[in-house]
Chain A
Amino acid sequence: MLDMPFSRIIEGLNYSLENVIAPEIESPIAKGQLFAVVEILNQIKGRFDHKFELVVEDIKVSQKALATLIETLSAASVEIPSEYHSNTEAIDLAAMTGEELREKRNQLEIIVSGALDLLDAHRADIPDAQKVEHAVFMQFGATIFRNMLLVGKYRFDKITQADKKD
Protein backbone atom coordinates (compact mmCIF):
# COMPACT_ATOMS: atom_id res chain seq x y z
CA MET A 1 0.00 0.00 0.00
CA LEU A 2 2.80 2.38 0.85
CA ASP A 3 4.09 1.87 -2.70
CA MET A 4 1.18 4.02 -3.87
CA PRO A 5 1.75 7.68 -4.77
CA PHE A 6 1.46 9.72 -1.58
CA SER A 7 -1.21 11.92 -3.14
CA ARG A 8 -3.45 8.86 -3.52
CA ILE A 9 -2.86 7.77 0.09
CA ILE A 10 -3.77 11.23 1.34
CA GLU A 11 -6.87 11.38 -0.86
CA GLY A 12 -8.04 8.04 0.61
CA LEU A 13 -7.38 9.18 4.17
CA ASN A 14 -9.13 12.51 3.61
CA TYR A 15 -12.19 10.84 2.11
CA SER A 16 -12.66 8.74 5.24
CA LEU A 17 -11.88 11.62 7.61
CA GLU A 18 -14.44 13.85 5.92
CA ASN A 19 -17.19 11.40 5.07
CA VAL A 20 -16.99 8.68 7.69
CA ILE A 21 -15.30 10.11 10.77
CA ALA A 22 -16.40 13.79 10.79
CA PRO A 23 -20.15 12.99 10.78
CA GLU A 24 -19.64 10.89 13.94
CA ILE A 25 -17.99 13.75 15.86
CA GLU A 26 -20.39 15.71 18.02
CA SER A 27 -18.00 18.33 19.42
CA PRO A 28 -17.79 21.29 16.97
CA ILE A 29 -14.27 22.02 18.23
CA ALA A 30 -13.06 18.50 17.52
CA LYS A 31 -14.83 18.48 14.14
CA GLY A 32 -13.21 21.80 13.21
CA GLN A 33 -9.80 20.44 14.17
CA LEU A 34 -10.40 17.37 12.03
CA PHE A 35 -11.25 19.53 9.01
CA ALA A 36 -8.05 21.49 9.69
CA VAL A 37 -6.10 18.22 9.45
CA VAL A 38 -7.89 17.40 6.18
CA GLU A 39 -6.99 20.84 4.84
CA ILE A 40 -3.32 20.53 5.77
CA LEU A 41 -3.05 17.04 4.25
CA ASN A 42 -4.72 18.36 1.12
CA GLN A 43 -2.19 21.16 0.84
CA ILE A 44 0.89 18.97 1.34
CA LYS A 45 -0.17 16.04 -0.85
CA GLY A 46 1.42 17.47 -4.02
CA ARG A 47 4.68 18.34 -2.29
CA PHE A 48 5.76 14.90 -1.04
CA ASP A 49 6.96 11.82 -2.83
CA HIS A 50 8.75 8.57 -2.06
CA LYS A 51 12.42 8.78 -1.14
CA PHE A 52 14.27 8.81 -4.46
CA GLU A 53 17.20 6.77 -3.16
CA LEU A 54 15.02 3.88 -1.98
CA VAL A 55 13.31 3.41 -5.34
CA VAL A 56 16.65 3.74 -7.15
CA GLU A 57 18.11 1.06 -4.89
CA ASP A 58 15.13 -1.23 -5.65
CA ILE A 59 15.71 -0.75 -9.39
CA LYS A 60 19.41 -1.54 -9.13
CA VAL A 61 18.75 -4.69 -7.09
CA SER A 62 16.19 -5.92 -9.61
CA GLN A 63 18.61 -5.32 -12.50
CA LYS A 64 21.33 -7.24 -10.70
CA ALA A 65 18.95 -10.14 -9.96
CA LEU A 66 17.83 -10.15 -13.58
CA ALA A 67 21.45 -10.35 -14.76
CA THR A 68 22.03 -13.37 -12.48
CA LEU A 69 18.95 -15.10 -13.87
CA ILE A 70 19.85 -14.35 -17.50
CA GLU A 71 23.28 -15.89 -16.94
CA THR A 72 21.80 -19.05 -15.42
CA LEU A 73 19.06 -19.44 -18.01
CA SER A 74 21.49 -18.82 -20.89
CA ALA A 75 23.88 -21.44 -19.54
CA ALA A 76 21.00 -23.94 -19.63
CA SER A 77 20.14 -22.89 -23.21
CA VAL A 78 16.73 -21.59 -22.17
CA GLU A 79 15.24 -19.14 -24.66
CA ILE A 80 15.16 -15.74 -23.03
CA PRO A 81 12.68 -12.97 -23.94
CA SER A 82 14.51 -9.99 -25.49
CA GLU A 83 13.13 -7.56 -22.91
CA TYR A 84 15.20 -9.32 -20.25
CA HIS A 85 18.46 -8.15 -21.84
CA SER A 86 17.29 -4.62 -22.51
CA ASN A 87 16.22 -4.23 -18.89
CA THR A 88 19.69 -4.87 -17.55
CA GLU A 89 21.10 -1.89 -19.44
CA ALA A 90 22.08 1.27 -17.56
CA ILE A 91 19.24 3.76 -17.03
CA ASP A 92 19.53 7.50 -16.50
CA LEU A 93 17.65 7.35 -13.21
CA ALA A 94 18.40 10.97 -12.33
CA ALA A 95 16.35 12.10 -15.32
CA MET A 96 13.24 10.21 -14.21
CA THR A 97 10.34 11.59 -12.18
CA GLY A 98 9.19 9.85 -9.01
CA GLU A 99 6.25 8.31 -10.84
CA GLU A 100 8.50 7.06 -13.66
CA LEU A 101 10.89 5.53 -11.15
CA ARG A 102 8.12 3.66 -9.37
CA GLU A 103 6.77 2.43 -12.70
CA LYS A 104 10.24 1.23 -13.69
CA ARG A 105 10.68 -0.60 -10.39
CA ASN A 106 7.29 -2.31 -10.76
CA GLN A 107 8.06 -3.27 -14.37
CA LEU A 108 11.42 -4.74 -13.36
CA GLU A 109 9.85 -6.75 -10.53
CA ILE A 110 7.40 -8.27 -13.01
CA ILE A 111 10.27 -9.22 -15.33
CA VAL A 112 12.35 -10.72 -12.49
CA SER A 113 9.31 -12.71 -11.34
CA GLY A 114 8.82 -13.96 -14.89
CA ALA A 115 12.48 -14.98 -15.04
CA LEU A 116 12.11 -16.84 -11.74
CA ASP A 117 9.10 -18.69 -13.13
CA LEU A 118 11.12 -19.55 -16.22
CA LEU A 119 13.89 -20.93 -14.02
CA ASP A 120 11.32 -22.93 -12.08
CA ALA A 121 9.86 -24.35 -15.29
CA HIS A 122 13.35 -25.52 -16.38
CA ARG A 123 14.44 -26.63 -12.92
CA ALA A 124 15.25 -30.13 -14.14
CA ASP A 125 17.77 -28.74 -16.66
CA ILE A 126 19.47 -26.32 -14.30
CA PRO A 127 22.00 -27.69 -11.85
CA ASP A 128 21.73 -26.04 -8.44
CA ALA A 129 18.56 -24.14 -9.39
CA GLN A 130 17.80 -23.64 -5.71
CA LYS A 131 21.24 -22.13 -5.13
CA VAL A 132 20.52 -19.60 -7.85
CA GLU A 133 17.14 -18.84 -6.28
CA HIS A 134 18.86 -18.30 -2.96
CA ALA A 135 21.42 -16.00 -4.58
CA VAL A 136 18.58 -13.94 -6.11
CA PHE A 137 16.80 -13.94 -2.77
CA MET A 138 19.93 -12.62 -1.06
CA GLN A 139 20.14 -9.80 -3.59
CA PHE A 140 16.69 -8.62 -2.49
CA GLY A 141 17.39 -9.36 1.17
CA ALA A 142 18.92 -5.99 2.00
CA THR A 143 15.95 -4.03 0.61
CA ILE A 144 13.49 -6.24 2.50
CA PHE A 145 15.42 -5.66 5.73
CA ARG A 146 15.65 -1.94 4.96
CA ASN A 147 11.86 -1.72 4.45
CA MET A 148 11.23 -3.60 7.67
CA LEU A 149 13.30 -1.02 9.55
CA LEU A 150 11.14 1.71 8.04
CA VAL A 151 8.03 0.27 9.72
CA GLY A 152 7.18 2.45 12.70
CA LYS A 153 6.00 1.19 16.05
CA TYR A 154 2.39 0.20 15.56
CA ARG A 155 -0.37 0.26 18.17
CA PHE A 156 -3.24 -1.74 16.75
CA ASP A 157 -4.55 -2.27 20.27
CA LYS A 158 -5.45 1.45 20.22
CA ILE A 159 -7.67 0.69 17.23
CA THR A 160 -9.28 -2.48 18.54
CA GLN A 161 -9.74 -1.15 22.06
CA ALA A 162 -10.96 2.31 21.11
CA ASP A 163 -13.99 1.81 23.34
CA LYS A 164 -11.74 1.47 26.40
CA LYS A 165 -10.45 4.46 28.34
CA ASP A 166 -6.74 5.41 27.95
Chain B
Amino acid sequence: MALSDNHQLIAYLARKLGGTDLRITKEWQNMEGWSMETFSLDVEYKKDGATVEQALILRRQPVSGLLEPYDVSTEYRILKALQASKVIVPVAFWYEGDSAVFERPFYIMQKVEGDVHVLEQDPGADFRLVPDDEERVSLANDFIDSLVHIHECDWKALGLGFLGEPGSGKSAALQQVDYWADVIERAGVRSKPLVTLAINWLRENAPETEQVRLIHGDYRIGNFIHQNQHITSILDWEMAHLGDRHEDIAFVLGPLWRSNAPANWVCHLLPEDEFLEKYEQKSGLKVDREKLKYFDLLLSLKAVGIMSTAANSFAQNKTPDLKPAAFGSILDLAYAGLAQHLNERLSSC
Protein backbone atom coordinates (compact mmCIF):
# COMPACT_ATOMS: atom_id res chain seq x y z
CA MET B 1 0.00 0.00 0.00
CA ALA B 2 1.30 3.43 -0.89
CA LEU B 3 1.96 5.67 2.08
CA SER B 4 -0.40 8.24 0.56
CA ASP B 5 -3.22 5.67 1.00
CA ASN B 6 -2.38 4.99 4.65
CA HIS B 7 -5.07 6.98 6.46
CA GLN B 8 -3.68 6.21 9.93
CA LEU B 9 -0.27 7.58 8.96
CA ILE B 10 -1.80 10.68 7.33
CA ALA B 11 -3.94 11.36 10.40
CA TYR B 12 -0.88 10.82 12.60
CA LEU B 13 1.24 13.31 10.62
CA ALA B 14 -1.57 15.89 10.57
CA ARG B 15 -1.95 15.58 14.33
CA LYS B 16 1.78 15.89 14.96
CA LEU B 17 2.21 18.83 12.56
CA GLY B 18 -0.91 20.56 13.87
CA GLY B 19 -2.36 20.88 10.37
CA THR B 20 -5.43 19.86 8.40
CA ASP B 21 -6.07 18.44 4.91
CA LEU B 22 -2.66 16.79 4.92
CA ARG B 23 -1.61 15.01 1.74
CA ILE B 24 1.51 13.05 0.95
CA THR B 25 2.42 14.58 -2.40
CA LYS B 26 5.56 12.54 -3.06
CA GLU B 27 6.98 9.42 -1.49
CA TRP B 28 9.78 7.00 -2.18
CA GLN B 29 11.69 4.36 -0.31
CA ASN B 30 15.44 4.94 -0.23
CA MET B 31 17.32 1.95 -1.61
CA GLU B 32 20.81 2.71 -0.26
CA GLY B 33 20.36 1.35 3.25
CA TRP B 34 20.67 -2.30 4.19
CA SER B 35 19.04 -2.22 7.58
CA MET B 36 16.42 0.27 8.73
CA GLU B 37 13.67 1.10 6.19
CA THR B 38 13.92 4.75 5.13
CA PHE B 39 11.12 6.64 3.37
CA SER B 40 11.23 10.18 2.02
CA LEU B 41 7.89 11.99 2.23
CA ASP B 42 6.85 15.35 0.85
CA VAL B 43 3.72 16.51 2.64
CA GLU B 44 1.39 19.43 2.13
CA TYR B 45 -1.12 20.64 4.73
CA LYS B 46 -3.06 23.66 5.87
CA LYS B 47 -2.12 25.53 8.99
CA ASP B 48 -3.32 28.93 10.20
CA GLY B 49 -4.96 29.56 6.82
CA ALA B 50 -1.76 28.94 4.85
CA THR B 51 -0.60 25.96 2.81
CA VAL B 52 2.59 24.44 4.18
CA GLU B 53 4.94 22.14 2.28
CA GLN B 54 7.41 20.04 4.23
CA ALA B 55 9.88 17.26 3.47
CA LEU B 56 10.26 14.51 6.08
CA ILE B 57 12.19 11.28 6.54
CA LEU B 58 10.50 8.28 8.11
CA ARG B 59 12.76 5.54 9.54
CA ARG B 60 10.92 2.29 10.25
CA GLN B 61 12.03 -0.84 12.04
CA PRO B 62 12.34 -3.75 9.57
CA VAL B 63 10.71 -7.12 10.22
CA SER B 64 14.14 -8.70 10.42
CA GLY B 65 17.63 -7.99 9.14
CA LEU B 66 21.31 -7.35 9.64
CA LEU B 67 21.21 -5.59 12.99
CA GLU B 68 18.37 -7.35 14.78
CA PRO B 69 16.95 -7.30 17.35
CA TYR B 70 15.71 -3.87 16.33
CA ASP B 71 14.56 -1.04 18.51
CA VAL B 72 14.18 2.05 16.36
CA SER B 73 13.54 4.16 19.46
CA THR B 74 17.26 3.93 20.34
CA GLU B 75 18.37 5.79 17.23
CA TYR B 76 15.60 8.34 17.77
CA ARG B 77 16.72 8.97 21.36
CA ILE B 78 20.35 9.36 20.25
CA LEU B 79 19.44 11.95 17.62
CA LYS B 80 17.24 13.79 20.12
CA ALA B 81 20.03 13.87 22.68
CA LEU B 82 22.71 14.98 20.19
CA GLN B 83 20.70 18.02 19.19
CA ALA B 84 22.11 19.68 22.28
CA SER B 85 25.70 18.87 21.23
CA LYS B 86 28.21 19.99 18.58
CA VAL B 87 27.53 16.82 16.58
CA ILE B 88 25.54 17.67 13.47
CA VAL B 89 22.53 15.38 13.09
CA PRO B 90 19.07 15.68 11.53
CA VAL B 91 16.37 17.01 13.85
CA ALA B 92 14.37 14.06 15.20
CA PHE B 93 10.70 15.00 15.56
CA TRP B 94 8.59 12.11 16.87
CA TYR B 95 8.86 8.44 17.71
CA GLU B 96 5.83 6.19 17.30
CA GLY B 97 5.79 2.76 18.88
CA ASP B 98 2.18 1.89 18.02
CA SER B 99 2.33 -0.60 15.14
CA ALA B 100 -1.26 0.29 14.18
CA VAL B 101 -0.03 3.51 12.54
CA PHE B 102 2.45 2.01 10.05
CA GLU B 103 2.79 -1.70 10.79
CA ARG B 104 5.98 -1.34 12.84
CA PRO B 105 7.56 1.28 15.13
CA PHE B 106 9.10 4.27 13.37
CA TYR B 107 10.32 7.79 13.91
CA ILE B 108 10.16 10.94 11.83
CA MET B 109 13.06 13.29 11.31
CA GLN B 110 14.00 16.34 9.32
CA LYS B 111 15.02 15.84 5.70
CA VAL B 112 18.47 17.35 5.38
CA GLU B 113 19.20 18.65 1.88
CA GLY B 114 22.33 17.39 0.18
CA ASP B 115 23.87 14.23 -1.18
CA VAL B 116 25.28 11.00 0.20
CA HIS B 117 28.34 9.35 -1.35
CA VAL B 118 27.53 5.93 -2.75
CA LEU B 119 30.40 3.47 -2.69
CA GLU B 120 30.67 1.47 -5.91
CA GLN B 121 31.98 -2.08 -5.96
CA ASP B 122 34.05 -1.95 -9.12
CA PRO B 123 34.68 1.67 -10.01
CA GLY B 124 37.97 1.30 -11.89
CA ALA B 125 41.54 2.15 -10.92
CA ASP B 126 41.28 5.89 -11.64
CA PHE B 127 37.91 6.42 -9.99
CA ARG B 128 37.69 9.33 -7.54
CA LEU B 129 34.63 9.44 -5.32
CA VAL B 130 35.32 13.10 -4.53
CA PRO B 131 37.00 14.40 -7.69
CA ASP B 132 37.22 18.07 -6.67
CA ASP B 133 40.32 18.55 -4.48
CA GLU B 134 39.00 21.64 -2.74
CA GLU B 135 35.80 19.82 -1.80
CA ARG B 136 37.73 16.76 -0.67
CA VAL B 137 39.96 18.79 1.67
CA SER B 138 36.93 20.54 3.12
CA LEU B 139 35.01 17.29 3.62
CA ALA B 140 38.07 15.63 5.19
CA ASN B 141 38.30 18.49 7.65
CA ASP B 142 34.61 18.26 8.57
CA PHE B 143 34.84 14.48 8.75
CA ILE B 144 37.56 14.62 11.40
CA ASP B 145 35.87 17.49 13.25
CA SER B 146 32.64 15.53 13.51
CA LEU B 147 34.40 12.43 14.78
CA VAL B 148 36.17 14.51 17.41
CA HIS B 149 32.85 16.12 18.41
CA ILE B 150 31.31 12.66 18.85
CA HIS B 151 34.21 11.48 20.99
CA GLU B 152 34.36 14.70 23.00
CA CYS B 153 30.67 14.98 23.76
CA ASP B 154 29.53 14.73 27.37
CA TRP B 155 27.30 11.71 26.87
CA LYS B 156 26.24 11.65 30.50
CA ALA B 157 25.05 15.25 30.44
CA LEU B 158 23.30 14.61 27.10
CA GLY B 159 21.32 11.76 28.65
CA LEU B 160 22.96 9.01 26.62
CA GLY B 161 23.66 6.83 29.65
CA PHE B 162 20.76 4.63 28.54
CA LEU B 163 23.13 3.14 25.94
CA GLY B 164 24.75 1.25 28.80
CA GLU B 165 27.93 2.45 30.45
CA PRO B 166 30.47 -0.36 30.21
CA GLY B 167 32.49 0.68 33.25
CA SER B 168 36.21 1.25 33.58
CA GLY B 169 39.29 -0.73 32.61
CA LYS B 170 38.84 -3.51 30.09
CA SER B 171 35.04 -3.47 30.35
CA ALA B 172 34.43 -1.36 27.25
CA ALA B 173 36.25 -3.79 24.98
CA LEU B 174 34.90 -6.86 26.77
CA GLN B 175 31.34 -5.58 26.57
CA GLN B 176 31.64 -5.34 22.79
CA VAL B 177 33.20 -8.80 22.52
CA ASP B 178 30.33 -10.23 24.58
CA TYR B 179 27.75 -8.30 22.57
CA TRP B 180 28.99 -9.62 19.22
CA ALA B 181 29.54 -13.12 20.61
CA ASP B 182 25.84 -13.13 21.59
CA VAL B 183 24.84 -11.86 18.15
CA ILE B 184 26.87 -14.64 16.51
CA GLU B 185 25.39 -17.20 18.90
CA ARG B 186 21.86 -16.15 17.91
CA ALA B 187 22.86 -16.34 14.24
CA GLY B 188 23.92 -19.95 14.75
CA VAL B 189 27.64 -19.78 13.85
CA ARG B 190 29.15 -19.41 17.33
CA SER B 191 30.59 -22.91 17.13
CA LYS B 192 32.81 -22.17 14.12
CA PRO B 193 36.37 -22.82 15.41
CA LEU B 194 37.59 -19.61 13.79
CA VAL B 195 34.98 -17.61 15.70
CA THR B 196 35.82 -19.35 18.97
CA LEU B 197 39.53 -18.63 18.51
CA ALA B 198 38.81 -14.94 17.83
CA ILE B 199 36.47 -14.50 20.80
CA ASN B 200 38.89 -16.20 23.18
CA TRP B 201 41.80 -14.07 21.96
CA LEU B 202 39.78 -10.86 22.24
CA ARG B 203 38.74 -11.72 25.80
CA GLU B 204 42.27 -12.63 26.80
CA ASN B 205 43.82 -9.49 25.31
CA ALA B 206 41.20 -6.79 25.95
CA PRO B 207 42.85 -3.36 26.32
CA GLU B 208 42.18 -0.77 28.98
CA THR B 209 39.97 2.14 27.93
CA GLU B 210 41.23 5.48 29.20
CA GLN B 211 37.77 7.06 29.10
CA VAL B 212 34.36 5.79 28.01
CA ARG B 213 33.07 7.81 25.07
CA LEU B 214 30.18 7.90 22.62
CA ILE B 215 31.00 5.64 19.66
CA HIS B 216 29.16 6.06 16.37
CA GLY B 217 29.82 2.47 15.34
CA ASP B 218 29.45 3.01 11.57
CA TYR B 219 31.48 6.17 10.94
CA ARG B 220 32.62 6.34 7.31
CA ILE B 221 32.08 7.99 3.98
CA GLY B 222 28.57 7.17 2.80
CA ASN B 223 27.07 7.78 6.21
CA PHE B 224 26.94 11.56 6.07
CA ILE B 225 25.08 14.15 4.03
CA HIS B 226 27.15 16.82 2.33
CA GLN B 227 26.30 20.03 0.52
CA ASN B 228 28.40 22.95 -0.75
CA GLN B 229 31.65 21.18 0.21
CA HIS B 230 30.60 20.61 3.82
CA ILE B 231 29.16 17.81 5.89
CA THR B 232 25.68 18.81 6.94
CA SER B 233 24.58 15.74 8.86
CA ILE B 234 25.95 12.53 10.34
CA LEU B 235 23.61 9.60 9.70
CA ASP B 236 23.10 5.94 10.63
CA TRP B 237 23.39 5.77 14.39
CA GLU B 238 22.01 2.23 14.63
CA MET B 239 25.23 0.82 16.08
CA ALA B 240 26.07 3.70 18.38
CA HIS B 241 27.13 2.72 21.89
CA LEU B 242 29.46 3.73 24.69
CA GLY B 243 32.99 2.42 24.45
CA ASP B 244 36.58 3.00 23.38
CA ARG B 245 37.15 5.68 20.71
CA HIS B 246 39.77 3.47 19.01
CA GLU B 247 36.89 1.33 17.78
CA ASP B 248 35.58 4.22 15.63
CA ILE B 249 39.08 5.10 14.44
CA ALA B 250 39.83 1.51 13.40
CA PHE B 251 36.49 1.46 11.57
CA VAL B 252 37.30 4.68 9.68
CA LEU B 253 40.58 3.09 8.55
CA GLY B 254 38.78 -0.03 7.26
CA PRO B 255 39.71 -1.45 3.84
CA LEU B 256 36.19 -1.31 2.39
CA TRP B 257 36.18 2.49 2.26
CA ARG B 258 39.71 3.04 0.99
CA SER B 259 40.09 4.83 -2.35
CA ASN B 260 41.43 3.52 -5.63
CA ALA B 261 42.77 6.91 -6.61
CA PRO B 262 44.78 8.31 -4.97
CA ALA B 263 45.60 4.82 -3.77
CA ASN B 264 44.47 3.70 -0.34
CA TRP B 265 43.20 6.97 1.09
CA VAL B 266 41.04 6.74 4.19
CA CYS B 267 37.34 7.01 3.33
CA HIS B 268 38.39 8.44 -0.08
CA LEU B 269 39.34 11.65 1.74
CA LEU B 270 42.97 11.67 2.89
CA PRO B 271 46.02 9.50 3.59
CA GLU B 272 46.00 7.42 6.79
CA ASP B 273 48.92 9.24 8.44
CA GLU B 274 47.30 12.60 7.80
CA PHE B 275 43.97 11.41 9.18
CA LEU B 276 45.57 10.13 12.39
CA GLU B 277 47.75 13.22 12.79
CA LYS B 278 44.80 15.59 12.35
CA TYR B 279 42.57 13.56 14.67
CA GLU B 280 45.28 13.79 17.33
CA GLN B 281 45.73 17.52 16.74
CA LYS B 282 42.03 18.37 16.82
CA SER B 283 41.13 16.12 19.75
CA GLY B 284 44.30 16.53 21.77
CA LEU B 285 44.16 12.73 22.22
CA LYS B 286 46.80 10.21 21.18
CA VAL B 287 45.91 7.31 18.95
CA ASP B 288 47.34 4.04 20.26
CA ARG B 289 48.37 2.13 17.10
CA GLU B 290 48.56 -1.20 18.97
CA LYS B 291 45.01 -0.73 20.21
CA LEU B 292 43.87 -0.21 16.63
CA LYS B 293 45.07 -3.74 15.83
CA TYR B 294 42.89 -5.11 18.63
CA PHE B 295 39.89 -3.26 17.29
CA ASP B 296 40.64 -4.44 13.73
CA LEU B 297 40.04 -7.96 14.97
CA LEU B 298 36.97 -6.95 16.98
CA LEU B 299 35.52 -5.18 13.93
CA SER B 300 36.08 -8.23 11.76
CA LEU B 301 34.21 -10.27 14.38
CA LYS B 302 31.45 -7.65 14.19
CA ALA B 303 31.34 -8.11 10.40
CA VAL B 304 30.84 -11.85 10.93
CA GLY B 305 28.06 -11.00 13.39
CA ILE B 306 26.26 -8.71 10.96
CA MET B 307 26.59 -11.00 7.96
CA SER B 308 25.66 -14.15 9.83
CA THR B 309 22.60 -12.38 11.26
CA ALA B 310 21.62 -11.42 7.72
CA ALA B 311 22.09 -15.02 6.59
CA ASN B 312 20.12 -16.34 9.54
CA SER B 313 17.28 -13.93 8.81
CA PHE B 314 16.88 -15.66 5.44
CA ALA B 315 17.53 -19.18 6.75
CA GLN B 316 14.86 -18.83 9.44
CA ASN B 317 12.27 -17.35 7.05
CA LYS B 318 12.13 -14.21 9.16
CA THR B 319 11.67 -11.90 6.19
CA PRO B 320 10.82 -12.25 2.49
CA ASP B 321 13.26 -9.38 1.77
CA LEU B 322 16.16 -10.83 -0.23
CA LYS B 323 18.65 -8.05 0.60
CA PRO B 324 19.77 -9.71 3.85
CA ALA B 325 20.06 -13.00 1.93
CA ALA B 326 22.34 -11.37 -0.65
CA PHE B 327 24.44 -9.93 2.17
CA GLY B 328 24.58 -13.24 4.00
CA SER B 329 25.62 -15.08 0.84
CA ILE B 330 29.12 -13.56 1.06
CA LEU B 331 29.63 -14.48 4.70
CA ASP B 332 32.81 -16.30 3.66
CA LEU B 333 34.43 -12.92 2.97
CA ALA B 334 33.76 -11.91 6.57
CA TYR B 335 35.34 -15.16 7.77
CA ALA B 336 38.36 -14.44 5.53
CA GLY B 337 38.70 -10.95 7.06
CA LEU B 338 38.47 -12.42 10.55
CA ALA B 339 41.08 -15.05 9.64
CA GLN B 340 43.49 -12.44 8.32
CA HIS B 341 43.39 -10.36 11.53
CA LEU B 342 43.40 -13.42 13.77
CA ASN B 343 46.47 -14.79 12.02
CA GLU B 344 48.29 -11.50 12.64
CA ARG B 345 47.37 -11.52 16.32
CA LEU B 346 48.02 -15.21 17.02
CA SER B 347 51.37 -15.20 15.26
CA SER B 348 52.56 -11.94 16.82
CA CYS B 349 52.98 -13.14 20.41
Contact = CB atoms under 8 A, between A and B. Distances in A.
Contacts of B347: 134
Contact of B194 (A114, A140, A157): A140
Contacts of B201: 130, 133
Interface string A125-152: 0000010011011001100110110110
A157 B120 contact: yes
A129 B330 CA distance: 32
Contacts of B323: 159
A52 interface: no
A133 B346 contact: yes
Contact of B200 (A8, A110, A117, A134): A117
Contacts of B330: 151, 154
Given A65-B193, A120-B200, A1 B325 contact: yes
A113 B192 contact: yes
Q: For chain A, which range describes its interface: under 10, 10 to 19, 20 to 34, or 35 or more residues?
A: 35 or more
A109 B335 CA distance: 15
Contacts of B314: 1, 12
A20 B314 CA distance: 14
A76 interface: no
B177 interface: no
A114 B190 CA distance: 11
Nearest to A147: B332
Contact of B311 (A1, A130, A157): A1
A4 B315 CA distance: 8
A51 interface: no
Interface string B305-334: 000001110110100111101111111110
Main secondary structure on chain A at its contact with chain B? helix
Contacts, number: 125
A20 B34 CA distance: 17
Interface stretch (B227-235, B289-297, B336-344): B336-344
A33 interface: no
Interface in A1-52: 1-2, 4, 8, 12-13, 15-16, 19-20
Contacts of B193: 62, 65, 109, 112-113, 116, 136, 140
Contacts of B99: none
Contacts of A117: 196, 200
A116 B342 CA distance: 15
A123 interface: yes
A71 interface: no
Across the A-B interface, give the 10 residue pairs with the lowest CB-CB distance, nearest first: A1-B311, A148-B336, A1-B328, A134-B346, A113-B196, A147-B332, A110-B191, A120-B200, A113-B191, A20-B320
Interface of A: 1-2, 4, 8, 12-13, 15-16, 19-20, 62, 65, 106, 109-110, 112-114, 116-117, 120, 123, 130, 133-134, 136-137, 140-141, 144-145, 147-148, 150-151, 153-157, 159-163
Interface of B: 28, 31-34, 118-122, 190-197, 200-201, 203-204, 310-312, 314-315, 317, 320-323, 325-333, 335-336, 339, 342-343, 346-347, 349
Given A12-B317, A16-B321, A151-B333, 14 more contacts: A8-B315, A16-B320, A113-B195, A117-B196, A120-B204, A133-B200, A137-B197, A140-B194, A144-B194, A144-B335, A147-B336, A148-B332, A157-B118, A161-B31
